[in-house]
Amino acid sequence: MAKEGALTVGKKVILNFPKHTWDKPVVYTLHSKFNLIFNILKAQITPNEEGLMILELVGEEEKVREGIEFLREIGVGVRFLAADIEKDEEECVHCGACASVCPSGALHIDRETYKVIFDKEKCVGCELCVGACMYKAIKIGL
Amino acid sequence: MAYQVNKTIEEINEKIKKGQVVVVTAEEMIDIVEEYGPVEAAKRVDVVTTGTFAPMCSSGAFLNLGHSKPRMKMEDVYLNGVPCYGGLAAVDIYIGATSLPKDDPRNKVYPGQFKYGGGHVIEDLIAGKDVYLVAYGYGTDCYPLTKLETYININIINEAIMFNPRNAYQNYNCAVNLSDRLIYTYMGILKPKLGNATYCSAAQLSPLLNDPYFKTIGIGTRIFLGGGIGYVVWHGTQHTTDVPRGEKGVVKKPAGTIAVMGDMKKMTRRYVRGVSIVGYGVSLAVGIGIPVPILNEEMAWHTSVRDDEIWTQVVDYGYDYPNREGRVIAEVNYAQLKSGEIEIMGKKVPTYPLSSYYMAKEIAETLKRWISEGKFYLTKPVELIPSSGFMCKGLEIRR
């Protein structure tokens, strides 16, 4: 349980599992050792092959940091998802083509202003919007 | 028919000159007519401004590149690798919005990305960027040069005239996909089995929906085109008039169109954008705004049209559209489409626009400001756009 007063954060991360890590109970450790709540957004793990997993990690800020440190120590590649998708406000014309394919509602139309809003917190990093945007206003960062 | 209010273009222009003109957007006109009625509204309001911003494929530009030394009759012409039409006089070319470089992989790796094409060249020219010109000719006694490579930009070439044979569609289909696979269309990515619906009209702000019988719009109508000044020069290709109409004479399917023209040197990139439509191709998004003079109460009534009075047809792009089946799945209005969800065949389907209402509003507001500030005067068309007797025909393949 989170300590009272401790800041709880949620981070979406893309994990790249090298071959030697596929059989380790990595996600279990994140929970048991660092008390992190995990939500698997996407997973592609095959024995003896490189794997990919997109996780949402929720927990105390310090524990999330430690958990990510643990992942890097055992050789798992970690990238933050939230920083990945960026909407260039200068290029965006506020149509709605991106919202049309967004599965999480992170990209949506504000019915008052008719602007397309990007709510980074809700982004699952599927990248469908990148191709759907006709104006190349959505980019993948990093 | 005798009207209670009778105004002329000349009278309105006189008011613009004196700074007394009353201009509102088509959105604002709705409430004015609702509150005061069409007669009183026509007395109060002189001009209603409209706007639209969306990909419009039938767009392009005539360019005169200037004569090289020695001279050249350019036949094969490329701008940033994009083929232009050179079958005109020596250095006149036309670049079409959907033109693609020869080496673009198109849909060979499906769905194609279509990163750069004619629409982007037009955008780059308007942005003032240098564009790489390659031209080939066969050589003549008067035009000896056969190959040329150089850079041009909009400031050094003689003319850059946007000429769009079909723009500002009066209404458009709402697209869905009844098939069981994801499809990539000019109406965006359509998810299988009614996974989403897309539409493309500014509806209550849309120019040709605010003058559905072309009682004021015609050849010579001065308009906002791509951030500059343009003119309506003809009815657009595929212009159609004889279709079912609903309240206030508004067409219930894609119908009227206009051909427009304007000086690209005065345009701004914000309102002229190349677009890359995944799996489909490239195109050009164009911003257009047309002022509708409120000559009488009838025009006040037409311009008060509201989203919920504008209906359109829902068409399946999975099978029906590609096979030119005329089937209409359902009829929906734009208030429903803008709510974000419609019901089709008992299923709730999320709806998304491809036409930017945000930009349409900005264009209508800009045009309103231009007129109010005396920077833009109305013109009296030399001939109105036809409002009957036009049907868009199909092509029957002869064997």
Catalytic residues of B: 142
B5 touches chain A (CB under 8 A): no
**Final residue in a domain of this structure, among A30, A48, A81:** A81
Q: For tokens 């209670």, what's the residue?
A: B4
Q: Which member of A111, A132, A135 has the closest CB to residue B189?
A: A132
> What is the CA angle B369-B374-B379, rounded to 5?
100
Domain limit, last residue, from A81, A108, A125:
A81
Q: Which residues of B374-388 are buried (b: 16+ CB within 10 A; e: fewer)?
A: eebbbbebeebbebe
| Chain B residues near residue A135 by CB distance under 8 angstroms | 273, 275-276, 285
Query: Beta B383-384 vs B218-219: how paired, if at all?
Result: antiparallel
Residue A50 and residue A89 in one domain:
no
- Paired with B222 in beta bridges are B231
Reduce the DSSP state of residue B357 to 3 states and report it: helix
> How far separated are the first and last CA of chain A, in Å rounded?
33
Closest CA to B278 of B342, B354, B349, B340: B354
Instruction: Average the pLDDT over B215-244 and give the result.
Output: 98
* Residues in chain A within 8 Å Cβ distance of B338: 111
Question: Which residues does B187 contact at the CB level (< 8 Å), separation at least 6?
Answer: B173, B175, B198, B200, B317, B354
Residue of B nearest to A99 (CA): B352
Instruction: List chain A residues with CB under 8 Å of B358.
Output: 93-94, 113-116
Residue B188 φ/ψ region, left for φ over 0, alpha for ψ in the -120 to 50 degree band, beta for the rest:
left
Q: What is the mean pLDDT of residues B21-25?
A: 98
Last residue of a domain, one of A56, A81, A106: A81
Would you list which residues of chain A are within 8 Å, Cβ to Cβ, of chain B? Answer: 93-97, 99-101, 109, 111, 113-116, 128, 131-132, 134-136
Please check whether residue B264 touches A, CB under 8 A: no
Predicted pLDDT at B332: 98
Contact A135 B189 (CB under 8 A): no
Residue contact A132–B358, C-beta within 8 A: no
Q: What is the pLDDT of residue A83?
A: 55
**Is the CB of B340 less than 8 angstroms away from the CB of A109?**
yes
For residue B231, the distance in angstroms to the closest alpha carbon of chain A comes to 24
pLDDT at site A12: 83
Q: SS3 helix, strand, coil % of chain A, rounded to 5?
A: 25, 30, 40
Whether A94 is in a domain gets the answer: yes
Dig out the tokens for A61 from the structure: 């800020």
Alpha-carbon B245 to chain mean position:
21
Whether A101 and A67 share a structural domain = no
CATH code for position A75: 3.30.70.260
Q: Indicate yes or no: CB of B358 within 8 angstroms of CB of A134.
A: no
Kindly identify which residue of chain A lies nearest to residue B114, measuring between CA atoms. Answer: A134
Please report whether residue A2 resides in a domain. Answer: no
Sorting pLDDT into bands at 50, 70 and 90, what band is A1? very low
β-sheet bridge partners, residue B315: B175
- pLDDT-derived band at A44 (thresholds 50, 70, 90) equals confident
A73-82, B169-178, B291-300, range with the lowest pLDDT: A73-82
Same domain, A67 and A106: no
Q: What average pLDDT does range B379-391 have in this prediction?
A: 98
Q: Are residues A89 and A76 in the same domain?
A: no
| B276 contacts chain A (CB < 8 A) | yes
Task: Mark yes or no for CB contact A134/B275 under 8 Å.
Answer: yes
Q: What is the dihedral of CA B307, B309, B312, B314, to 10 degrees?
A: 80
Tally of structural domains, chain A: 2
pLDDT at site B53 = 98
Residue A41 reports pLDDT greater than 90: no
Of the pLDDT bands very low, low, confident and very high (cuts 50, 70, 90), residue B225 is very high
Does B191 contact A97 at a Cβ distance shorter than 8 Å? no
A67 and A118 in a common domain: no
Asked if the structure places residue A62 within a domain, the reply is yes
- Asked whether residue A91 falls in the same domain as residue A46, the answer is no
Identify the pLDDT of residue A50: 85
Query: How far is B306 from B203, CA to CA, in rounded Å?
Result: 8
Place of tokens 């050849």: B219
pLDDT of residue A141: 66
Neighbours of B64 (CB within 10 A): 16
Question: Complex ipTM, two decimals?
Answer: 0.95
Residue B221 φ then ψ, to 5° = -65, 125
Asked if B113 lies within 8 A of A111 by C-beta distance, the reply is no
The pLDDT of residue B307: 98
Question: What per-residue confidence (pLDDT) applies to A6?
Answer: 67
Say if B109 is an interface residue toward chain A (CB within 8 Å).
Answer: no
Question: Could you tell me if residue A95 is inside a domain?
Answer: yes
Domain that holds residue A35: 8-81
Task: Give the lowest-confidence range in A16-20, A27-31, A36-40, B268-272.
Answer: A16-20
Using a CB-CB cut-off of 8 Å, the residues of chain A touching B196 are 100-101
Give the alpha-carbon dihedral of B47, B53, B56, B61, to 10 degrees. 80
Residue A28, token pair as written in the block = 């279990």
Rounded-to-integer distance, Cα B376 and Cα B270, Å: 20
Are the Cβ atoms of B338 and A135 closer than 8 angstroms? Answer: no
Judged against a pLDDT cut of 60, whether residue B359 lies above it is answered with yes
- Check residue A82 and give its pLDDT: 58
* pLDDT band at residue A2 under the 50/70/90 scheme: very low
Please report, for chain B, the start and end positions of each structural domain, with discontinuous segments joined by +. 9-56+163-383
Q: Examine the pLDDT at B287 and tell me if it is beyond 90.
A: yes
Confidence of residue B316 (pLDDT cuts 50, 70, 90): very high
On whether the CB atoms of residues B281 and B141 are closer than 8 A, the answer is no
Residues of chain A with C-beta less than 8 angstroms from the C-beta of B340: 109, 111
The reported pLDDT for the residue numbered A102 is: 93
- pLDDT average, residue stretch B389-398: 96
Q: Is B54 on the interface with A (CB under 8 A)?
A: yes
**Model confidence band, residue A142 (pLDDT cutoffs 50, 70, 90):** very low
Name which of B55, B111, B357 is nearest A134 (Cβ-Cβ): B55
For all residues of chain B together, what is the average pLDDT? 98
Identify whether residues A21 and A70 lie together within a single domain: yes
B120 three-state secondary structure? helix
First to last CA, chain B: 52
For B155-199, write each residue's pLDDT tens digit.
999 999 999 999 999 999 999 999 999 999 999 999 999 999 999
Q: Kindly state whether residues A104 and A42 are assigned to the same domain.
A: no
Q: B107 CB near a chain A CB, below 8 Å?
A: no
Same domain? For A75 and A102 the reply is no
Summary mean pLDDT of chain A: 87
Q: Rounded to the nearest 5°, which phi and psi values hold at B355?
A: -90, 135
Q: Is B110 on the interface with A (CB under 8 A)?
A: no
If asked whether residues A77 and A135 sit together in one domain, one would say: no
Residues A112 and A134 in one domain: yes
B97-127 pLDDT, tens per residue? 999 999 999 999 999 999 999 999 999 999 9
Query: Around Cβ B119, how many Cβ atoms within 10 Å?
Result: 33
pLDDT tier at A30, thresholds 50, 70, 90: very high
Find where tokens 């990007």 sit.
Answer: A118
The size of the A-B interface in CB pairs under 8 A is 70
B361 touches chain A (CB under 8 A): yes
Q: Is A114 part of any domain?
A: yes
User: Taking a C-beta distance cutoff of 8 angstroms, is the pair B221, B381 a contact?
Assistant: yes
For residue B144, give the amino acid letter.
P
Q: What is the CATH number of the domain that holds A136?
A: 3.30.70.20
Band (pLDDT 50/70/90 cuts) for residue B323 is very high
Query: d(Cα B126, Cα B104) in Å, to the nearest integer?
Result: 23
pLDDT, position A125: 80
pLDDT at B56 over 60: yes
Provide the pLDDT for residue A11: 81
Q: Which residue has the tokens 């699952």?
A: A124
Question: What mean pLDDT comes out for the span B93-97?
Answer: 98
Residue A1 lies in a domain: no
- In this structure, the answer to whether residues A29 and A89 fall within a common structural domain is no
pLDDT over threshold 90, residue A3 = no
Measuring CA to CA, how many Å separate B64 from each of A109, B159, B161, B256? 42, 5, 9, 31
Q: Do the Cβ atoms of A95 and B276 come within 8 Å?
A: no
The reported pLDDT for the residue numbered B299 is: 98
